[in-house]
């Protein structure tokens, strides 16, 4: 049987380049899809910009295609390099708009516009040059959304493209690729003529990709619903409502080999669901490391996050302030918005015996915190999928989280008898957060109830295989429509 052919496009993919959650997804999902033992084999290939960081790791990769793109009269050369990693074909696109010494994302939207529009157009062009016709083009976020928009036009006059279907995954609707007009006009792309697309979005990569995609995936079923409303729809809710029948929600997976408390070399004391006793050693090691009271009966609260209003760090700070009368200790790990970093430091200054901060990115420390913390604070205002809560549950650290997006889909509230894996609250404000945390602190005192929640969380299946199956069903469904 001929395999289904999927071309998977992303701006980043771990372990070659990882800036955020998209890197985890692009590094794990294609691998998991290609390893599914299904009736219909899947030949999934990944295409990425040949970023400076990748050129350093994989220098001098062979070129399998080279051709020009045009920005008006100006000819811009494209080279497509190839590597095979873990039995999967990877293509890397190089050319002048992809700087040889830059970061994956620049702070200049104009520059990123040229980089990612060039990449999106080259990614659409090269399959024909190498004689490999994908059945489906799967793009991710704004950086690769225009490939799908331009596919719509290519279909009209090039038989090679006519039957290719498309999937666009939204990892975060907030980032639509604004500020990239110069490249859009420079490459001579046609603005959208869709009546229901707001005027400000007519040249924006993500909305245009959403307009053209055969299927739209949001990274959790709840987020797929939320983006249809005014609070989370970022002004596109009406437009998305018209395309509701094309939208599905699929939760991301977690790399369960990397995030495994029984085999995590960063931990003072590895542990598994069979015996949680050794877990305490991690808590005590953390207390000593941060000069906190080494008393396991005091609940240790952790927050591991980008310091961003999206993540509700301010709600956590205010909520903890309200719960000063209760015994707890807290450890904040994060970097980002200077105002929020400062607020964390202020809380630590006001509650010097019980709050510690580490305002930096530190992967090793995050692992020790998941393993030693009792409660993960995750009061995100919105959370398309979220990874931290899944890692926390896998490490026996129980989340207190806002019931939004992927948090709602991956955490079962304690009120569900014999099923609960965490504590959810409906309204993102400090008062409701504090009430819910207080509820969790009360249960913490009941040892057997607490360890039951821990064990249920640790036993959840957050594997990539589960997501891969959902994506492969979606691919199948699309192919049957042809």
Q: Tell whether residue 333 is a contact of ligand ADP (CB under 6 A).
A: yes
CA distances from 258 to 15, 331, 395 (A): 12, 23, 12
Number of residues that bind ligand ADP (CB under 6 A): 16
Stretch 444-473: interaction string toward ligand ADP, x if CB under 6 A: ------------------------------
Among 334, 399, 420, 422, binds ligand ADP (CB under 6 A): 334
Q: Is 379 in the site for ligand ADP (CB under 6 A)?
A: no
In the set 18, 281, 306, 322, which binds ligand ADP (CB under 6 A)?
A: 306
**Nearest of 377, 367, 371 to residue 454 by alpha carbon:** 371
335 makes contact with ligand ADP (CB under 6 A): yes
Span interacting with ligand ADP, options 64-72, 79-87, 319-327, 360-368, rule CB under 6 A: 360-368
At closest approach, how far in Å is the CB of 280 from ligand ADP?
Answer: 22
Q: 185, 237, 362, 413: which one contacts ligand ADP (CB under 6 A)?
A: 362
C-alpha–C-alpha distance, residues 45 and 98, integer Å: 21
Helices vs. strands in the chain: H and E counts, helices first: 17, 15
Any contact of residue 20 with ligand ADP (CB under 6 A)? yes
Return the residue nearest ligand ADP (CB atom). Answer: 21
3-state secondary structure 77-95: EEEEEEEEECCEEEEEEEC
Q: How far apart are CA 241 and CA 393, in angstroms?
A: 34
Nearer to ligand ADP among residue 335 and residue 460 (C-beta): 335
> Is residue 327 a contact partner of residue 353, using CB atoms and an 8 Å limit?
no
Q: Tell me if 67 contacts ligand ADP by CB under 6 A.
A: no
Q: Which residues contact 91 (CB under 8 A, 6 or more apart)?
A: 45, 46, 47, 48, 64, 80, 81, 82, 126
The binder of ligand ADP chosen from 305, 404, 421, 467 (CB under 6 A)? 305
Residue 35, exposed/middle/buried by CB under 10 A (0-12, 13-18, 19+)?
middle
Using CB under 6 A as the binding rule, the residues of this chain from 385 to 424 that contact ligand ADP are: 386-388, 391
Q: Minimum Å distance from CB 343 to ligand ADP?
A: 15
Gap between the Cα atoms of 482 and 477, Å rounded: 9
How wide is the angle at C-alpha 296 spanned by C-alphas 293 and 300, nearest 5°? 75
Stretch that binds ligand ADP, among 91-99, 239-247, 381-389, 471-479 (CB under 6 A): 381-389
Residues lying near ligand ADP in the complex (CB under 6 A): 20-21, 304-306, 333-335, 361-363, 366, 386-388, 391
């Amino acid at each position: 049987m001929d395999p289904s052919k999927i071309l998977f496009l992303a701006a980043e993919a771990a372990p070659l380049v990882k800036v955020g959650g998209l890197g985890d997804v692009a590094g794990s999902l294609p691998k998991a899809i290609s390893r599914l033992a299904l009736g219909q084999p899947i030949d999934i290939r990944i295409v990425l910009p040949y970023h400076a960081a990748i050129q350093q790791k994989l220098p001098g990769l062979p070129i399998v295609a080279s051709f020009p793109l045009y920005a008006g009269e100006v000819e811009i050369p494209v080279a497509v390099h190839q590597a095979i990693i873990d039995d999967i074909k990877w293509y890397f696109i190089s050319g002048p708009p992809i700087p040889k010494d830059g970061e994956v994302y620049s702070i200049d939207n104009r520059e990123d516009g040229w980089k990612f529009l060039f990449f999106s157009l080259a990614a659409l062009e090269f399959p024909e040059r190498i004689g490999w016709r994908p059945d489906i083009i799967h793009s991710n976020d704004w950086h690769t959304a225009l490939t799908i928009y331009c596919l719509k036009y290519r279909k009209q006059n090039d038989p090679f493209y006519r039957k290719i279907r498309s999937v666009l995954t939204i990892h975060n609707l907030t980032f639509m690729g604004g500020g990239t007009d110069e490249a859009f006009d420079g490459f001579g792309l046609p603005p959208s003529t869709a009546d229901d697309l707001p005027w400000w979005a007519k040249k924006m990569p993500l909305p245009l990709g959403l307009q053209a995609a055969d299927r739209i995936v949001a990274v959790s079923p709840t987020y797929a619903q939320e983006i249809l409303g005014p609070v989370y729809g970022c002004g596109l809710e009406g437009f998305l409502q018209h395309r509701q029948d094309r939208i599905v929600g699929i939760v991301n997976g977690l790399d369960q080999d990397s995030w495994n408390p029984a085999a995590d070399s960063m931990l003072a004391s590895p542990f598994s669901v069979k015996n949680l006793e050794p877990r305490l050693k991690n808590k005590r090691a953390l207390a000593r490391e941060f000069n906190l009271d080494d008393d396991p009966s005091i609940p240790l609260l952790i927050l591991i996050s980008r310091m961003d209003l999206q993540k509700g760090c301010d709600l956590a700070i205010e909520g903890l302030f309200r719960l000063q009368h209760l015994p707890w200790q807290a450890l904040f790990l994060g970097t980002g918005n200077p105002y929020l970093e400062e607020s964390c430091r202020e809380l630590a200054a006001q509650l010097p015996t019980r709050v510690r901060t580490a305002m930096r990115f530190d992967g090793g420390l995050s692992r020790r915190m998941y393993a030693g913390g009792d409660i993960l604070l995750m009061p995100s205002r919105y959370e398309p999928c979220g990874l931290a809560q899944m890692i926390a549950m896998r490490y026996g650290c129980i989340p207190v989280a806002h019931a939004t997006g992927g948090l709602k889909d991956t955490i079962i509230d304690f009120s569900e008898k014999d099923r609960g894996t965490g504590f959810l609250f409906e309204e993102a404000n400090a008062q409701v957060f504090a009430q819910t945390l207080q509820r969790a602190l009360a249960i913490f005192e009941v040892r057997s109830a607490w360890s039951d929640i821990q064990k249920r969380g640790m036993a959840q299946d957050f594997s990539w295989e589960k997501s891969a199956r959902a994506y492969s069903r979606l691919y199948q469904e699309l192919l049957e429509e042809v």
